[in-house]
Structure 1
């Protein structure tokens, strides 16, 4: 009995030791001797040596991560290096810290990972805000970029290339040698097709450097306005870039003397007519401006607002109804007042007193043949004028003479 018990305990101990050793054997060692190398102002390469204890030909996966904006981004690789783009505008500090570790599972599904090893590196030059209000307007296969230097007294150098990690892209870094200055802004024309990829910009002075992706713009849309019935038809020429893009137009306008700005939107697919109909009041002056930006299936490109386009004129409002509504009641009131005055003054003529027939009959019965006393005065004829008659005596001799 004792022999069997000792054998069973020894067997369990051997199994436990074997399990522990097997677990330790499965835990891969971490990478060693991490180093970094800046390929250009945007790109850094991190590499390391094979971990101790890893045999040649064994399947080992490496993982690396970066904590940015509070979130960890984990990527896997089967080689002992990785290349990443590091822009100053993406971080709040001048340091980048990557974590690298080994995973013994080739399909990156194992939870048996090595401890993490960190590597921290800085930019080739101090990180500094060199320019502000940097914008690039696309003109075909070129870009017209302009900016405001933070310190105009410092000499500024600008380089650019398409963003990416391919060998061809990494060799495409160019310097802008012709800078144009005006009172406040500095400009440079970049010979690069911005419709194919993002453009990485590198600016530096003696004070420091700055790397970022250029914000792309297209020229403000040139708008034409045409009146069609009770609508205005606004139309634009499509942008020179983004043939496969969906464009989002924003139209803002004011009408008459109303200071309120009204805006309307329309989405247009490239290749179709870029137009918009809006209601029109021909008694108002319209002040219209517009801008455009990509909506879907295309990288972010936008324009500023165009110059204000005016259409129509402010006409004085038709006040006929207002005048009628005010003057007509006044005239009617005056007419009513005059009518009342005339009626009151000539009421005896318009409405004479008519005797009561019952009173006349009663008077006849009581007085018999007496003259009826009727109210009012009786009609008295007006005496006619009488000419006096004058008689002239005729003598006999005068009469005979007349007869003769």
Structure 2
């Protein structure tokens, strides 16, 4: 009986612990969802407040009161959810960020913002107000602290004239039109009165048939590069912009040395010159660009004009001459030596007969020579005979006799 009571007590204690553990796990688990799905949002609609801002709203879910639940929404192809109590939200959208010219948002009802229950998710399809206005290579350069020069290449001349308006992003205020419009060599532009360093500027470009919106990426003109020489080093320096005194600047220096391939290096500086080794026998060609570090708002420039320094000195040709001429001379000498040796080989290297062959030849041919000399008769040398010519005389003139 005692054993049975102890066993029953053990089972009861184990069941209580497991139930408590399961309850705690269900509360703490991020995968916990309510037993019954909440009603989904209905009647989703959107409205463009201005060229950049869209407002999405929906009706109260059936059977629920405002304040009883929360709502989550998320842009398609992103992973960040936003939780709100109201039945609407506003977002800033730019046409340059819409791959197909539209956006899709998901909205669903949740009990609390930590819930991962998406069973009530519904979608809404947001279209841009107009077709896109074609603009290419948009550049907005800071000319002064509170002014920027924006220029672009018109994508379609038929879309001109183009109206450019702007405002500070995040503030629902009337748009301002840019002033002093101009048309240059292949580029159009105008001036914006806004501080692009302290504020994010939203820009709208609109034609009769199209609309494009974007956020300005502020640029500056490439800083002028100065080059100085000190010993075996070069010192590169620039005049920093008049803004961003507390920022560090990253200079990207690209250079060619002695017509070699281009090399690029990044240098972080707050005003001190950049030092690099210098080969005085080479001509250097430098070009540089600059941007702020990641602690400041991104402001950048394009690559500036090429700055040259030094000259390419002619290389010492002594070694080249020695390396080329000496092998040629040596080859000629070897060729002539071989030729002379081959032509006069009989003199330089005569054929030495075998002594045994010489002795044998002497033994065999010696007796023959002696016999020939002993048996030969003396043959006198014939004397020259003078011819005598006789002239015949026909007259009776006494002719002395020639004895």
Classify the secondary structure of the residue corresponding to 1:40.
coil
Give the C-alpha shift of residue 24 in structure 1.
Answer: 9.3
Of residues 42, 51, 64, the one that matches 1:41 is: 51
Counting only pairs closer than 5 Å after superposition, residues 350-361 of structure 1 correspond to structure 2 as none
Number of aligned residue pairs: give it.
295
The 3 A distance-change label for structure 1 pair 274 and 40 is: farther
Residue 271 of structure 2 is aligned with which of 270, 273, 281?
273
Q: Does 1:120 align with 2:135?
A: no
Pairing of 1:171-190 with structure 2 (within 5 A): 171=173, 173-190=175-192
1:261 aligns with 2:271: no
Instruction: Give the superposition deviation at 1:114.
Output: 5.7
Instruction: Provide the residue aligned with 2:75 in structure 1.
Output: 66
Q: CA deviation at 1:130?
A: 1.4
1:296 aligns with 2:294: yes
Partners of 1:279 and 1:25 in 2: how far apart?
72
Give the counterpart of 1:316 among 310, 314, 317. 314
What do you get for the CA RMSD once the two structures are aligned? 2.8
> Which residue number corresponds to residue 251 of structure 2?
249
Q: CA deviation at 1:328?
A: 11
Structure-to-structure mapping, 1:111-190, within 5 angstroms: 111=116, 115-126=120-131, 128-139=132-143, 140-153=145-158, 154-164=160-170, 169-171=171-173, 173-190=175-192
**Is the partner of 1:36 in helix, strand or coil?**
strand
Query: Which residue in 1 is equivalent to 2:367?
Result: none
In the alignment, is the contact (CA less than 8 A) between 1:245 and 1:296 conserved in 2? no
Identify the range of structure 1 (131-140 vs 280-289) with the bigger mean alpha-carbon deviation. Answer: 280-289
TM-score after normalising by structure 2: 0.66
Give 5+ residue unaligned stretches, structure 1: 1-22, 331-404
Secondary structure, in 3 states, of the residue corresponding to 2:96? helix
How do 1:361-372 and structure 2 match up within 5 A? none
* CA–CA distance in structure 1, aligned partners of residues 190 and 100 of structure 2: 29
Partners of 2:88 and 2:272 lie apart in 1 by 49
Query: Conserved in 1, the CA contact under 8 Å of 2:138 and 2:152?
Result: yes
Shift in alpha-carbon separation, 1:238–1:25, aligned structure 2, 3 A: same
The superposition leaves residues 49-107 of structure 1 with CA deviations (integer Å, 9 ceiling, x where unpaired) of 32221235x4311111220xx334421101111000121111122332222221122xx
Cα separation, 1, equivalents of 2:271 and 2:63? 67
TM-score (norm: length of structure 1): 0.66
Structure 2 counterpart of 1:100: 107
Report matched runs for 1:194-209 at 5 Å. 194-209=196-211
Which residue among 84, 94, 99 is the counterpart of 2:91? 84
Pairwise CA distance, 1:230: 0.9
* Deviation, structure 1 residue 275: 1.6
Q: Is the 8 A contact 2:71 2:83 kept in 1?
A: yes
Q: CA deviation at 1:300?
A: 2.8
CA contact (8 A) 1:176 1:189 kept: yes
